[in-house]
């Protein structure tokens, strides 16, 4: 699921939880992604909080690295937040 989020787009922990039919599991999904042993291969940096805040990042250098990865993909990060109206990935 996370691997389907294209470069330049983000999804939210809550969206992923709803897609898994476990709508109250957004925190659990965050914990799972934080433990991701392959943070670039499985692009967990493309998952943010429901208000656009970056949230955590388990890869090296934490949330600063998450912001840098997103910026490198063309996603604007301003004050630790992504504009979801502009960058939210909507699967069909």
In a domain, 91, yes or no: no
pLDDT at 92: 66
User: Which residues, 6 or more positions from 72, have their beta carbon under 8 angstroms from its beta carbon?
Assistant: none
In a domain, 86, yes or no: no
In a domain, 23, yes or no: yes
Classify strands 47-48 and 77-78 as parallel, antiparallel or unpaired: unpaired
The pTM score is 0.92
Find the Cα–Cα–Cα–Cα dihedral 89, 30, 45, 50, rounded to 10°: 40
pLDDT at 49: 96
Q: What is the DSSP string of 51-72?
A: TSB-----STTHHHHHHHHHHH
Task: List the catalytic residues.
Answer: 44
d(CA 25, CA 83): 23
Give me the residues paired with residue 77 across strands.
82
Lookup: tokens for 72: 């490198």
In a domain, 92, yes or no: no
Domain holding 55: CATH number?
1.10.10.10
In a domain, 65, yes or no: yes
Q: How many domains does the chain have?
A: 1
pLDDT digits (tens, 9 = 90+) for 46-92: 999 999 999 888 766 789 999 999 999 999 999 999 999 999 998 76
Q: Which domain holds residue 54?
A: 2-80
């Amino acid at each position: 699921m996370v691997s389907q989020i294209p470069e330049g787009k983000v999804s939210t922990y809550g969206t992923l939880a709803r897609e898994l039919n476990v709508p109250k599991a957004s925190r659990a999904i965050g914990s799972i992604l934080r433990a991701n042993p392959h943070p670039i291969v499985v692009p967990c940096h493309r998952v943010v909080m429901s208000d656009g805040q970056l949230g955590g990042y388990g890869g090296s250098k934490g949330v600063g690295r998450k912001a840098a990865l997103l910026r490198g993909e063309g996603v604007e990060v301003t004050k630790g937040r992504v504009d979801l109206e502009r960058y939210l990935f909507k699967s069909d």
